[in-house]
Structure 1
Amino acid sequence: MRATLRGLRRAAMAAGLLALPLAAGSAAADVVVPGHGDFPESLHASADGTLFFSSMAGGRIFRAAPGAAEAREWIPAGTNGLSSVLGILADDRSGTLYACSNDMGFAGITVPTGNTPPALKLFDLRTGAAKGSFPFPPGTIEGQSPLCNDIAVAGDGTAYVTDTLSGRLLRLRPGATALEVWARDPRWNDKGPRLDGIAIGEGALYVNFFEGDGLFRVAIGPDGSAGAVTKLRTSRPLVHADGLRMAGPNTLLMVEGEGKGTLDLITIKGDEAEIQVVRDGFQGPVSVVQHGDTIHVLDVPLKYLFDPALRSQTPPPFKAVPVKQPR
């Protein structure tokens, strides 16, 4: 993987282009989430290539076996108090599927089994059985409730979660009975959807902004405490930055949403972040995950859910689009 990413960066520099050439042919077929009403917001992959999908409007979780062309409902709405599901993460080391469950009533979304308060839900990665539910602590920004958005898990088993509307990072340590506030920063406190994607690298955690232009690095101290928060200087402004995953040492994969529609590779050098477009033309990329040499981009135009002028129209298929790593 590291050699491939180095090759990608060398190709970009040699070509002097923003959009990078792809290897001939597609990596695999699209994986479709059936229907038009679930609006999956996140996907992740287990070690064997199984793909998991959240459902913002349906309040359930889908699963697609390796090589399958279509996902199937795996965890029904209401299981373990599951409501509108945003971020999702499969952790093979602990055998856990993490899911961000929310009450999206403020956005006009009510799942079939009824909305429940924001919480981090845990399920058995093999069976789907409930393993735990951890409510979000009350928010601190006036007029805004907590919103569990995305998840990353460190090597020691600590789960970190973005609280988008309360401008903070929470964590759940192994064996803990409750989520705790891990990091805050005044730059995260503006009203509106801010903190979004999250990824963990060597000794640091990275987060981006959905609204506004921001990519931050939060140092992780030797004792696990939050250290310095640095806003990285990106080579260009970010537009609706969303899903964020590590791709190797000091490199990340990220998608930028509607209006931009790109899959990006980010290279970190000190406090600088070079943004390279791997592929564009997505209608509404919301999440990204890599398995082997295939990058899966979840393409779901959420405007069909939130724009009153489009709600009566049938959205395009919800799908994970495979992108083969450039060579």
Structure 2
Amino acid sequence: MTSLSDGTLFAGSLASGGIFRAKPGAAQAELWIKPGTFGTRSIFGVFADEKAGLLWACSNDLSARGISTPGNATGSWIKGFDLHTGLGLISARFPGDGNLCNDSTVGPDGALYVTNSAKPQILRLDPVTRKLTIWLTSPLFTPPKTGAGLDGIAFGADGNLYVDTFNTATLLRVVMKDGRPLRVERLRPSRPLVLADGLRRTSGGGFLLIEGAGRLDRMAIDGDDVQITTLRDALLNPTGVTETNGTAWVSEGQLPRLFGQSPPNPVLPFRLVAVPLATQQTP
């Protein structure tokens, strides 16, 4: 998920492709970018860069996993759309094969940083040349033999880059200096996490974190320690989160049902759940 400052929400569809938009106050999202548009396939993370006027989306061909979407594009791509018209403007393919574009964020330098869930890589899209390159690799990014690796990604108020891993549910910090990565550090959450997914910085400087097991968390970082506070639980396999106007919005992706890990039929309609950020539960 992602959002604009006026409260507009965007969510991508992994199962059918396409990107949905919900205008402020709307009770139902509308299909804004149709499946297959601009060579897209299954849509993973989306990120709105209001300064550049771009909506970024991770696109992956999942036909080998039995998920068929319109189009015949192969591989993993990062796509950039005009934030107001939906026109496709930028298209960059991940180098090599066996990739999985998951999520992205824009750095202080205006570049786009993208996680690769299938390889131990963070990629960078140059804001001028629009060339996508492998920016950083680390053994701490290595995905498990079965399952996904790097997932959520967000810059902190300290200028460092923070990422999480999905199946192993680790929290990591990329220490930055003068726009360059110095080292990768593993952080210590106050309790074990389960299926760490979407990660977004809040207006207050902290972070919101999704656990695929059903939780929306607030993260407060102090050195290498991370205090995890659950804001909402019993969510239906959440995948993404965004903050707008004091409210966290969570997408209930129900991905286990898509991949045969639970009853195959989704609970309809799919929901974007609003969680006022003043609401807290005991972890």
Aligned counterparts of 2:227 and 2:266: Cα–Cα separation in 1: 37
The residue number in structure 2 matching 1:243 is 198
The residue number in structure 1 matching 2:275 is 323
Does the 8 Å CA contact 1:105/1:115 hold for their aligned counterparts? no
In structure 2, runs of 5+ residues without a counterpart are none
Aligned counterparts of 1:309 and 1:294: Cα–Cα separation in 2: 30
Change (3 A) 1:308 1:255: closer
The residue number in structure 2 matching 1:4 is none
The residue number in structure 2 matching 1:285 is 238
Does the 8 Å CA contact 1:87/1:149 hold for their aligned counterparts? yes
Q: 2:175 aligns with which of 210, 213, 219?
A: 219
Aligned counterparts of 1:322 and 1:155: Cα–Cα separation in 2: 28
Does the 8 Å CA contact 1:165/1:194 hold for their aligned counterparts? yes
Q: Structure 1-normalised TM-score? A: 0.81
Q: Does 1:228 align with 2:183?
A: yes
Equivalence map 1:276-315=2 (5 Å): 276-307=229-260, 310-311=263-264, 313-315=265-267
Aligned counterparts of 1:294 and 1:157: Cα–Cα separation in 2: 26
Does the 8 Å CA contact 1:59/1:112 hold for their aligned counterparts? yes
What SS is found at the alignment partner of 1:238?
A: coil
Q: Structure 2-normalised TM-score? A: 0.93
Q: 2:24 aligns with which of 37, 62, 66?
A: 66
Structure (1/2) with the larger strand percentage = 2
What SS is found at the alignment partner of 2:202?
A: strand
Structure 1 runs of 4+ with >4 Å offset: none
Does the 8 Å CA contact 1:304/1:315 hold for their aligned counterparts? no
Does the 8 Å CA contact 2:3/2:10 hold for their aligned counterparts? yes
Does the 8 Å CA contact 1:182/1:225 hold for their aligned counterparts? no
* Higher RCO structure (Cα 8 Å, ≥6 apart): 1
What SS is found at the alignment partner of 1:175?
A: coil
What SS is found at the alignment partner of 1:318?
A: coil
Larger Rg: 1
The residue number in structure 2 matching 1:20 is none
Change (3 A) 1:112 1:315: farther
Does the 8 Å CA contact 2:187/2:226 hold for their aligned counterparts? yes
The residue number in structure 2 matching 1:146 is 99
| CA RMSD of superposed structures (Å) | 1.6
Equivalence map 1:126-145=2 (5 Å): 126-138=84-96, 145=98
Moved more, 113-122 or 196-205: 113-122
What SS is found at the alignment partner of 2:26?
A: coil
